[in-house]
Amino acid sequence: MYEIYPTRFLTDPGPSFDLISDVWFPRFSDTARFEELYDEEKECAEQILLDLTGFILYYQNCIPEAWSFSHIEHCLLIDFPRSLSRSKEYECCIHTVFCTFFAFLNEENLISDAEKIICSLPSIEDEFFEAIEDVNLYSTRKALIVSAMDDGIDVNDSDALDDYLLDIAHREMEGIDPDIYEKINEVMKSWVFPFSDSRYLAAIHEADGDDLVLIISLLLGSLTVEEGIPPLEWDKDSILHAIQTMLIPYPFKKRTRETCIPILRAFFTYLGDEHLQPHAHEIADFILPLHEEMISYTPNPDNEVEFFFAQSVLESGVDINEEAIGEFLDENKEALILDYISSKGPGAFDVLLKNSGFNPQVIDSPRKTVELSSIPKANREWFITITDMIDTFCDERLDDEYADICRYVAGKLARKRDCQVSRGKITIWASGIIYAVGQINFLFDKSFEPYQSASDICKYFGTSKSTVSQKAQMIRDLIGMGGHWDPEYSTSRMMKKNPFERFLMSGSGLIFK
The DSSP result for 205-220, as a single string, is TT--HHHHHHHHHHHI
**pLDDT tier at 324, thresholds 50, 70, 90:** low
Higher-confidence position of 45 and 401:
45
**pLDDT tier at 355, thresholds 50, 70, 90:** very low
Average pLDDT of the residues in 91-107? 96
Average pLDDT of the residues in 321-326? 63
Q: How far is CA 58 from CA 4, 15, 53, 104, in A?
A: 10, 13, 8, 24
Is residue 209 located within the same domain as residue 268?
yes
Q: Is residue 125 part of a domain?
A: yes
Is residue 399 located within the same domain as residue 483?
yes
Q: Is residue 331 part of a domain?
A: yes
Q: Is residue 189 part of a domain?
A: yes
Asked if 246 contacts 222 with a C-beta cutoff of 8 angstroms, the reply is yes
pLDDT of 334: 64
**pLDDT tier at 35, thresholds 50, 70, 90:** very high
pLDDT of 144: 86
Is residue 53 located within the same domain as residue 107?
yes
Among 93-107, 130-144, 171-185, 368-382, the minimum mean pLDDT is found in 171-185
Higher-confidence position of 416 and 354:
416
Q: Is residue 143 part of a domain?
A: no
Average pLDDT of the residues in 75-87? 95
Higher-confidence position of 2 and 318:
318
Is residue 352 located within the same domain as residue 383?
no
pLDDT of 246: 86
Is residue 316 located within the same domain as residue 203?
no
Is residue 216 located within the same domain as residue 292?
yes
Is residue 118 located within the same domain as residue 203?
no
Average pLDDT of the residues in 267-272? 97
Is residue 265 located within the same domain as residue 352?
no
pLDDT of 276: 96
Among 49-58, 100-109, 127-136, 309-318, the minimum mean pLDDT is found in 309-318
Of 245, 271, 296, the residue that ends a domain is 296
Average pLDDT of the residues in 476-499? 71
Among 49-58, 102-111, 372-381, 423-432, the minimum mean pLDDT is found in 372-381
Q: Across the chain, how many H-helices and E-strands are there?
A: 28, 2
Q: Is residue 147 part of a domain?
A: no
Kindly report the average pLDDT of the chain as a whole number: 83
365 has pLDDT over 60:
no
**pLDDT tier at 446, thresholds 50, 70, 90:** confident
500 has pLDDT over 80:
no
Higher-confidence position of 145 and 47:
47
Rounded to 5°, the CA angle 184-193-78 comes to: 150
Average pLDDT of the residues in 264-271? 97
Read off the CATH number of the domain in which 401 is found.
Answer: 1.10.472.10
**What is the rounded CA–CA span in Å between residue 509 and residue 513?**
13
43 has pLDDT over 80:
yes
**What is the rounded CA–CA span in Å between residue 67 and residue 51?**
14
pLDDT of 451: 86
Average pLDDT of the residues in 321-339? 66
Q: How far is CA 51 from the centre of its chain?
A: 32
Is residue 184 located within the same domain as residue 214?
yes
Into how many domains does the chain fold?
4
358 has pLDDT over 80:
no
Average pLDDT of the residues in 170-190? 73
Average pLDDT of the residues in 436-445? 83
pLDDT of 361: 38
297 has pLDDT over 90:
no
Higher-confidence position of 71 and 146:
71
Is residue 390 located within the same domain as residue 460?
yes
**What is the rounded CA–CA span in Å between residue 399 and residue 376?**
28
Is residue 130 located within the same domain as residue 237?
no
pLDDT of 282: 97
pLDDT of 356: 36
Average pLDDT of the residues in 361-383? 69
pLDDT of 338: 66
Asked if 313 contacts 328 with a C-beta cutoff of 8 angstroms, the reply is yes
pLDDT of 218: 86
pLDDT of 146: 87
Higher-confidence position of 116 and 181:
116
Where in the sequence is the domain holding 231, given as residue range(s)? 174-296
Q: Is residue 148 part of a domain?
A: no
**pLDDT tier at 364, thresholds 50, 70, 90:** very low
Q: How far is CA 139 from CA 44, 196, 213, in A?
A: 23, 6, 10
Is residue 267 located within the same domain as residue 247?
yes
